[in-house]
Chains A and B, each alone.
Chain A
Amino acid sequence: MTQLTPVLSAHWDEKDSFTIEGYKRHGGYDAVGKALEMEPDAVIQLIKDSGLRGRGGAGFPTGMKWGFIPQGDNKEHYLVVNADESEPGTCKDMPLLMANPHVLVEGIIIASYAIRANYAFIYIRGEVAHVVRRLQQAIAEAYAAGHLGKNIHGKGFDLELVLHVGAGAYICGEETALLDSLEGFRGQPRLRPPFPAIAGLYARPTVVNNVESIASVPSIINNGAEWFSGMGTEKSKGFTLYSLSGHVANPGQFEAPLGITLRELLDLAGGIRPGHQLKFWTPGGSSTPMFTADHLDVALDYEGVSAAGSMLGTKALQIFDETTCVLRAVLRWTEFYKHESCGKCTPCREGTWWLVQILRDLEAGKGTEADLDKLLDVVDNIAGRSFCALADGAASPIISSLKYFREEYMQHLNNGGCPFDPIASTKFEAAGSR
């Protein structure tokens, strides 16, 4: 039985966990002192050695990303933290920033020092006003304590940290769209190359990292690469936040080593809501192909999920029991992608518009089995044809749901409408709900 490994979430239960005092009580900002004693390249090497991979979904090795920044080029370098968490089901960065914003600030200082950046930015989605306030407070405290600003810890390192509040667009979680938005333009993905490491923010070498990736850095500095790589699996090292939501008895954040299974996580979370059975689930948000009860023992690391035909993504485990109509869930997600498509490229813009219409007809029981094949064919013309990954994400739930639940789609057509009672999936028994 895999044990939880609370690091980022270790002290969330303390009343002042979000204050600088609360953070320092457990060794907060010690890692900055240690890192500033090291050569920047040694910090990069340490992160490479730890095996830390990007926690935003793609799993790109963090240290390698830092190493791509050309050094000695006499240009400004920038660190940009992607806090535009908006994938349906994903809810790890916002709780982390609510409860422990200083760990991100400390990680930013260390990462900026490593890549020789004197400006860092946090791009946070605008809807989370309460998180924005906590983060603003944390940044102000860090400035006041001399962790930010000029000559940090007297080591001659300067860093300005800017919190930028976005206007609420899913596409701005895509790193190049985020950079455009940060520069004041409409958030739409940029053509690559050039990659952000060469020409990112304001056409300068830029590292864009997820909140959780950067927040993991101080613990690696404090405890060493071996400590970190001692957790997790062969190629997926360390601990991470798994977010369980949906039809589960005790939903929430579970910080565990990579490679834990849903069966283990469900045990920790008290199981599916009483009296019900698992029907389908997403391993990492709605953009990752869904799994079923057959996948309860898939190791939730980058390789394990990939081998089973999905992606680890953001480790947003949305759990659906047998009361849920899969077509209804997929339609809701598709409506989200249609709403959030930036409009730049044809397959995503027009495709999501069309998919919603097809799925609405299917949900209403209109059509024949040939329409399912048409749906799959249209999806095939969208997935892998678009400018960025948004449309791939839109295709995933449709393809995977038809793979596992084609019969249920047919029931809608044979039934002349949805065979499910939508209320049943939303009604929580008083005892079992929380």
Chain B
Amino acid sequence: MKRADRNNPIFCLLLPPVFWLGVWQLCALLVDRSMGGRGNELLLPYPATVLAALTHLAGTGEFWESVLLSLLRVLAGLVVGAGLGGLAAALTCAGAWVDRLLSPAIRVVRAAPVASFILLVLLWTGRDQVPVVIVALMVLPVVWDSLSQGIRATDAQWLELARAYRFSRWKTVRLIYLPGLRPHLSAALTTATGLAWKSGVAAEVLCLPSTALGTEIYQTKYYLEIPELFAWTGVAVALSLLLEHLLRRALARWGRRWSL
């Protein structure tokens, strides 16, 4: 193959998924052989079997309802967690005593096993609210950490200018802090989005809300519907990547004009 062909964008885009689908197909074939052609769907189904299961699921109303409700729960948790993380960052950077009080608590939240939180929150709230609370709790420390670093790294010369030019507090936030925090917010939100999906779906699997992607995953385990398990997992991954992509684009658009 010529070098120009290898740099073709369509080729570059398609090569990784085709390669990994090939690896998956090969592994499924090996499992199928070792099982003597009996029951490999319980261990590692073929990609085509998973695609058929996904097509079947996508034809049902429950599928879209579960996907939509899980998406809304994750988004709600992401918004609440990012908001609280931003507020905590502002407070801990504003005062040494607030920092001494809040920072250890946020670090404990970050270090504690997510399963413990899921079970505790399940005791305190309804099962439908648990994923929102868990996602918010997982996102908060990530956003707090990144924005705190950003606030502390704000150029001292700009802050001195704000003081000398008699900027109000709000004007300093609007003209100096917020634009300067964009790269930190971008990094925090892309990391937090992946974490939000992982923790949100984990919470759904453990708490079984009435309609949820995680509840469907639990059901597939219960009834040993492994192709459906792969299909639901693929949907979760695709939604996470899509959300991350949309966030990246929105944040890039925010800073595109001045970074030219």
B partners with A: no
